[in-house]
C-alpha cells in the first residue's frame, strides 16, 4: 500500500501515543442555569452531561441557545460500551408545534483531529479571535462571538471521534479498532443514530459537515447511514479529500503533480513570484495553469523518459513560469515537484518556507539544507485553538475533565487505511449514497492556497465519481481565496457562511 502521510491536515505528525486514563473529575456544584445529568461510565470515571444557556450576536441578531457538552457511548449490537464519544451541541429552542430545525453533525480530519477547528473557527457561536489575515495573535488568546456562526440556520453537533478530544476507547486494547477507516465510520454511525434516538430527532433534516479527512469520513458515513435507515439531506465538504491517489506523491503515480500545479500557481501569485503577465489576474492565470496541467503537462508526464531534450526543456520552462521556481530546479526534479519540496523552495532566497495547509502563511526555515521541518500553518493555529478550547469548556460550558483534550494528534496510533494494493478512496461511497438517496445534495468548499487538499484534485475526484447528469446537478463547488481552513480570515469566513446558508435553504426547498 502506498504511503498517504502527506495528504490531509496533520498527517505528518507521529500519532503513536496511547492515551493514559485520568482520574475521575471531582464533583462540581451546580451553577445557576446549568443542568447536570449522569451519563454512561467512561474511562476516567463518570462523565457529566452539562447543559448551559447562552446568548450570542449572530448575523446581526441576538440568538438564545442551549449548549450541551457530554459523551455518548459507542454501543455494540449487544449493548456493550466500547468507547465514549465526546461532543458539544447547540440547539435553539423552538415552540412545540414548530418543525424540527436542520441538524448538522460536524467532523474535522487528521485522522486524529478533534472538531475544535470547525467548532471554534467556523461554525460555532464562539470563535477564536485571530488577526485579520487569519494569523496567530499574541497570547493569551481570546474567544469572541462568531457573527458568522451557522447556529441561526441549523442546530449543531460537534463530534470528536475516538482518540480525539476527550473521546476514548473503553479499554486501551480497543483503541486500534477505532484507528481504522471502517471502525471510525461504524462508531460515528452508531453515534449519529443514538444521538437522534436520545434527542427525538429522527424527523429532523440531517446534514454532515466534514473538513479534510472529515470529508473522507463523511462520504463513507453517508452510505453507511443510508444502509441503516438515515437518509441525509446534504453533505458539506470543506477542503475535500476522497481519493488518496490524487495527493500521494509516490513513485509511479504522476497524478498529483498535475493536480497540485494550479495550487502552486496560486501560491506563487500570492507571494508575487510570477512574471508580470501572470501576476496581473489570478483567475485568468489559474485558468491557464489548469488548462496546461490537464493537457501539455499531463502528456509530458505520461511520456516520461520518451521526452526529447527539447521537449523536456520546454516543459521545464513552462512549469517554472507557473510555479515561481527555477528552471534548473524543475529539471533536477525530473519535472515533478511535490508539495513539501515546493513549500521549502518557493521562498528559499528569503530563508522562509510556506505553509502546507495554507500557503499564504510562511515561517523561518532554520535548516534550509534539510527536509521541510513542518507546516507553518500548524505552528500558527495549534496554540490559540488548543488553549481556547480548554478555557471554553471549563469556564463557559462548565465541563471539566482531567484528560488531555487531543486537539490535533496524540490520541490514536498508526491509522489503518484498509486499502489492499490500492489507494484508500470513499468516492465510491459518495456515489453509492447519492444513487441510493437521490435527494442527497453536496456542497464542496475549496481553498486556492491549500497545498494539502488542492482544489484541482477535488475537481478531478468529483469528475470521476461515475454518476449521471441528474446526480451531478446535486453537487455544487465553491472556491475561496484562502487556504485549507478558509474560515481563519474574515472575508472567507463570511463567504463560507453565506454559501452554507444558501445550500441548506435550497436543499430543504420542496
Is pLDDT at 475 greater than 70 in this prediction? yes
- What mean pLDDT is predicted for residues 447-463? 98
Distances in whole angstroms, Cα of residue 154 to Cα of each of 10, 93, 321, 394, 417:
29, 11, 45, 25, 33
CB 101, CB 94: distance < 8 Å: yes
In sequence order, what are the residues at sequence separation of 6 or more whose Cβ sits closer than 8 angstroms to the Cβ of residue 405?
114, 116, 165, 166, 386, 389, 390, 393
Residue 105 CA, distance from chain mean position: 13
405, three cell numbers: 483534550
Q: What is the pLDDT of residues 402-417, one digit of tens each?
A: 999 999 888 888 899 9
- What mean pLDDT is predicted for residues 317-335? 97
Q: Return the bridge partners of 158, or none.
A: 88, 106
Is pLDDT at 31 greater than 50 in this prediction? no
Q: What is the pLDDT of residue 100?
A: 93
Give backbone dihedrals phi and psi of 429, rounded to 5 degrees, phi first.
Answer: -65, -40
pLDDT classification of 236: cutoffs 50, 70, 90: very high
Q: What is the pLDDT of residues 128-162, one digit of tens each?
A: 999 888 888 898 999 999 999 999 999 999 999 99
Distances in whole angstroms, Cα of residue 203 to Cα of each of 102, 213, 254, 289, 350:
10, 28, 46, 46, 57
Q: How many CB atoms lie within 10 A of CB 54?
A: 16
Name residue, grid cell 438564545: 64
Q: What is the pLDDT of residue 5?
A: 38
d(CA 74, CA 190): 6
Question: Between 490 and 124, whose confidence is greater?
Answer: 124
Q: Number of C-alpha atoms within 13 angstroms, CB side, residue 67?
A: 24
Name residue, grid cell 461511497: 429
Is pLDDT at 265 greater than 50 in this prediction? yes
d(CA 13, CA 432): 32
In sequence order, what are the residues at sequence separation of 6 or more whose Cβ sits closer than 8 angstroms to the Cβ of residue 125?
54, 56, 58, 63, 65, 67, 90, 145, 146, 149, 151
Q: What is the pLDDT of residue 135?
A: 84
Q: What is the pLDDT of residues 340-398, one digit of tens each?
A: 999 999 999 999 999 999 999 988 887 776 666 677 788 788 899 999 999 999 999 99
Residue 240 CA, distance from chain mean position: 7
Q: Which helix (H) or strand (E) holds 327?
A: helix 327-332
Name residue, grid cell 463560507: 496
Name residue, grid cell 508539495: 339
CB 190, CB 75: distance < 8 Å: yes
- What mean pLDDT is predicted for residues 46-66? 88
User: What is the DSSP code (8-state) at residue 385?
Assistant: H
Name residue, grid cell 465553491: 478
Q: What is the pLDDT of residues 429-447, one digit of tens each?
A: 999 999 999 999 999 999 9
Is pLDDT at 75 greater than 80 in this prediction? yes
The answer to which of 4-18, 153-167, 198-212, 363-377 has the lowest mean pLDDT is 4-18
Nearest to 47 by CA among 76, 77, 27, 31: 27
Q: What is the pLDDT of residues 266-311, one digit of tens each?
A: 999 999 999 999 999 999 999 999 999 999 999 999 999 999 999 9
507, three cell numbers: 436543499
Start-end ranges of CATH 3.40.50.1820 in the chain?
34-245+382-508
d(CA 47, CA 400): 9
- What mean pLDDT is predicted for residues 211-236? 98
Is pLDDT at 190 greater than 80 in this prediction? yes
d(CA 4, CA 339): 13
Please provide the average confidence, as pLDDT, over all residues in the chain. Answer: 89
Is pLDDT at 3 greater than 50 in this prediction? no
Please state which CATH class domain 34-245+382-508 belongs to: alpha beta
Q: What is the pLDDT of residue 22?
A: 29
Q: How many CB atoms lie within 10 A of CB 286?
A: 21
Q: What is the pLDDT of residue 370?
A: 66
User: What is the DSSP code (8-state) at residue 20?
Assistant: P
User: What is the DSSP code (8-state) at residue 165?
Assistant: B
Q: What is the pLDDT of residue 338?
A: 96
Nearest to 380 by CA among 400, 396, 359, 399: 359
Q: What is the pLDDT of residue 23?
A: 30
d(CA 189, CA 502): 27
Q: Number of C-alpha atoms within 13 angstroms, CB side, residue 179?
A: 23
Amino acid at each position: 500500500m502506498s504511503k498517504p502521510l502527506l495528504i490531509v491536515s496533520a498527517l505528518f505528525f507521529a500519532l503513536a501515543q496511547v492515551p493514559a486514563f485520568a482520574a475521575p473529575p471531582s464533583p462540581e456544584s451546580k451553577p445557576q442555569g446549568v443542568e447536570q445529568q449522569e451519563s454512561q461510565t467512561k474511562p476516567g470515571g463518570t462523565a457529566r452531561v452539562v447543559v448551559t444557556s447562552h446568548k450570542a450576536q449572530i448575523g446581526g441578531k441576538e440568538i438564545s441557545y442551549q449548549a450541551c457538552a457530554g459523551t455518548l457511548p459507542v454501543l455494540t449490537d449487544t449493548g456493550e460500551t466500547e468507547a465514549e464519544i465526546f461532543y458539544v451541541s447547540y440547539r435553539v429552542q423552538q415552540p412545540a408545534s414548530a418543525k424540527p430545525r436542520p441538524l448538522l453533525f460536524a467532523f474535522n480530519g487528521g485522522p486524529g483531529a478533534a472538531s475544535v477547528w470547525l467548532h471554534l473557527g467556523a461554525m460555532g457561536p464562539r470563535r477564536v479571535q485571530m488577526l485579520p489575515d487569519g494569523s496567530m495573535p499574541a497570547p493569551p488568546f481570546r474567544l469572541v462571538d462568531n457573527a458568522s456562526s451557522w447556529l441561526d440556520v441549523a442546530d449543531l453537533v460537534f463530534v470528536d471521534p475516538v482518540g480525539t478530544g476527550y473521546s476514548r476507547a473503553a479499554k486501551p486494547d480497543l483503541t486500534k479498532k477505532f484507528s481504522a477507516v471502517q471502525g471510525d465510520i461504524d462508531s460515528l454511525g452508531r453515534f449519529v443514530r443514538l444521538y437522534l434516538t436520545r434527542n427525538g430527532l429522527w424527523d429532523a433534516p440531517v446534514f454532515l459537515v466534514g473538513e479534510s479527512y472529515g470529508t473522507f469520513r463523511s462520504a463513507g458515513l453517508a452510505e453507511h447511514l443510508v444502509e441503516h435507515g438515515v437518509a441525509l439531506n446534504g453533505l458539506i465538504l470543506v477542503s475535500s479529500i476522497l481519493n488518496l491517489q490524487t495527493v500521494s506523491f509516490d513513485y509511479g503515480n504522476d497524478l498529483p503533480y498535475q493536480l497540485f500545479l494550479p495550487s502552486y500557481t496560486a501560491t506563487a501569485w500570492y507571494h508575487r513570484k510570477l512574471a508580470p503577465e501572470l501576476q496581473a489576474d489570478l483567475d485568468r492565470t489559474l485558468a491557464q495553469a489548469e488548462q496546461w496541467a490537464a493537457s501539455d503537462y499531463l502528456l509530458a508526464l505520461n511520456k516520461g523518459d520518451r521526452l526529447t531534450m527539447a521537449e523536456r526543456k520546454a516543459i521545464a520552462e513552462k512549469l517554472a513560469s507557473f510555479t515561481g521556481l527555477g528552471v534548473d530546479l524543475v529539471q533536477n526534479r525530473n519535472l515533478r515537484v511535490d508539495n513539501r519540496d515546493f513549500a521549502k523552495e518557493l521562498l528559499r532566497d528569503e530563508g522562509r518556507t510556506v505553509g502546507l495547509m495554507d500557503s499564504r502563511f510562511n515561517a523561518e526555515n532554520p535548516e534550509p539544507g534539510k527536509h521541510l521541518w513542518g507546516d507553518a500553518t500548524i505552528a500558527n493555529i495549534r496554540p490559540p485553538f488548543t488553549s481556547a478550547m480548554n478555557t471554553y469548556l471549563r469556564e463557559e460550558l462548565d465541563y471539566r475533565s482531567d484528560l488531555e483534550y487531543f486537539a490535533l494528534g496524540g490520541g490514536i496510533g498508526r491509522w489503518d487505511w484498509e486499502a489492499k494494493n490500492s489507494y484508500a478512496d470513499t468516492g465510491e461511497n459518495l456515489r453509492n449514497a447519492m444513487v441510493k438517496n437521490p435527494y442527497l445534495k453536496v456542497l464542496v468548499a475549496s481553498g486556492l492556497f491549500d497545498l494539502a487538499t488542492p482544489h484541482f484534485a477535488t475537481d478531478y475526484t468529483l469528475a470521476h465519481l461515475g454518476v449521471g447528469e441528474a446526480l451531478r446537478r446535486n453537487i455544487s463547488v465553491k472556491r475561496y481565496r484562502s487556504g485549507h481552513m478558509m474560515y481563519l480570515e474574515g472575508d472567507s469566513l463570511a463567504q463560507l457562511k453565506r454559501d452554507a446558508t444558501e445550500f441548506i435553504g435550497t436543499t430543504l426547498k420542496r
